[in-house]
Structure 1
Amino acid sequence: MLGEVTAEVLGAAENQHARNGLLGQNAMVIETTLPDWLPHLEGTIVDGELLRGWALSEVWRIRLNGATRKSVIAKRGVGELAGEARRYHELVVPLGIPAPRLLAEGGSGVIVLEDVGGEDLEARPTAEGYEEAVRVLARMRAESALRLASDPALAAGLRRSTADLVAVAARADAAMTALRPDLAGALDDPVRAMTGCLEQLSSEPETIVHGDFQAKNLLHTPGGGIVTIDWSDAYVHPHLGDLYLLLREGRKQGRIDGVRMEALPELFAHEAGTDPQAVTDQLVTGGLCWTMNALRWVVETGVHAVPVSREWIDELVTDLRELTSVINGRSRPQRGVPGRQQPRRRRSHRLGGVDERR
């Protein structure tokens, strides 16, 4: 995925192809190692820093001289992660969602974004940051719901129905059973529970679902703000899987004080102007949707792209069963977010819409 580009003299004839064909006619390289998929960039490339390098996703900070911006973020996604530009055009921009600006597009899955700088909430976890992330999510969902309701044609190709999400569950079940025959039938109850929950949720306003709303995709900004990045998994639906994932990931990593973490659903309810119990109920539905899609990705793609992901199947199935048991009244969720407290573990790869560093 990477190609070395070395240009010691900017005008050297032997490097003309590297400068014009590989990096664009307006960009020049000064002794660095860069990916071979960079699109045309303004100014002189000084160097590049690999920020993330996964099997299906690569992110670089490219520093420039003689350009309007001193640096930009270049990204390349493969497979399901190749659709971020579409999300910008059909969701992020039309819905007015605060996010780094899309500056350019290259080949399949390649985009260049504004570099907003700042540490992410994973690198610098703070209670204030998590609280602001919840406020950002509540505002984003409320404002998006209004715009989507006013224009039924907006993001029409990215609106998901109950049938669409149930189809995801069917794919997860089929691929998992083929891979793990011992788990045949394990998703029967979760699928039924999810289907019932989604039918009840169908009367709720459609809004934005980021799909990977967790600490690594939330950047601190000056003044205590939070901006959301990485929109490749986004779509439109009422479910609250984004809040479920933020709480799940934060609790498992033990990132902030437990009392403040458990207060986040109530904060969301306050910001959204809704009943806290309704938020708790919707967290179960959102949890089923997010976890089912995570499992679908693992059994369809992850086991091939990231072989270690095979080890995560049992945990995801257990999470689905526990969420289902909450719905069936056989157990009670811990206050604030359904599910169980897991031992802290870290994983070093990324799932399609899932971060494995859980």
Structure 2
Amino acid sequence: MTSQEIPSDIALLAGPPLLGHLFNYGLFGILSAQVYSYYNAFPTDPVSLKAFVYGLYAVEWVQVILISHDAFQVYGAGWGDLNALTSPQWLWFDIPIMSALVSATVQCFFAWRIFILSNSRILPPFIVLPQIALMQCGAGVATGVITGPALNNNALIQEKAKNALIVWLGGSAACDIIIAVSMCFLLARQRQGLASDKLISRLITLSVETGSVTASFAALDLIFCLAFKHNNLHMLPAFMLSKLYTNSLMLVFNNRTKLRQMHDEALPTPRAGHVSQRWATSSERTRSRGGGFPSQEISLSKLSRSSPGSHELGAHRAADGFEADVELRKPRITGSTQVRAWGPGVLL
């Protein structure tokens, strides 16, 4: 074997990809635990939601397999070979292309979530978010195509695909920021000085945390790409991007357990002469024939026309996780003792 001169920046060429692989494996372990928790906690979720969750998990499995192949080629079979270290292997596909597809899917889901919460088809974030998500997805795919198998040096990625990288990572960060701000605005409007405000505060905190994490890593990846063009420092956050998006999504899904507990604690204790509310548990929820949305029964006992509870009921908006973002309107008393409120199935 011919001897090769070790470059002075070998640590910045070999270190970031190695750490990226390790963090990717760690995040995949966390994601696997979250998917298992989802499987046990929400067996009655619609088939479409289960397919969405398990489909993203399958994509992450494929990415782990591909990056494991790349890691073995560099740090195993190609150990000591600088050509193997600088070769892109399958990174042109499993990082920009797969990460862009996963992030765009998650961002479009949150755009749908904002649309349901706002109940408006002309809300600017709902119109802009899918466009930004698809734009950054296209730029991510373009980055992968430009830096495909024909490129034999990772250090040339930033130069060859500079414009595509800016659109991909910058658009992804901008989309995450808009999602976080929109969710905070929509949820803050629901504050009414009631016990449920604690629940709304938790939802706002969760939206800020998940949006800021993904936006920060996308921005960090872009900064490293532009500032350090001749090393692999940018690969450290790049390896983590898709797993951060799927973990953020699963955190929102699984957070329903805590939200339902907080919601049940915030409900008032029924008394004679007041409205008595009974919220169905996940095992008791039934589906409507058309939309498949669950319902909650609100029993009205001894409700008089002058009861203050009837006015408060019309302004109360409860958030019971995914299946029960239910607006309880003022009931019409027609002799029946039950009113059904149908939830639109929005994931809080």
| TM-score normalized by the length of structure 1 | 0.26
**Which structure is richer in relative contact order (CA contacts within 8 A, separation 6 or more)?**
2
- Considering only CA atoms, is the larger Rg found in Structure 1 or Structure 2? 2
| TM-score normalized by the length of structure 2 | 0.27
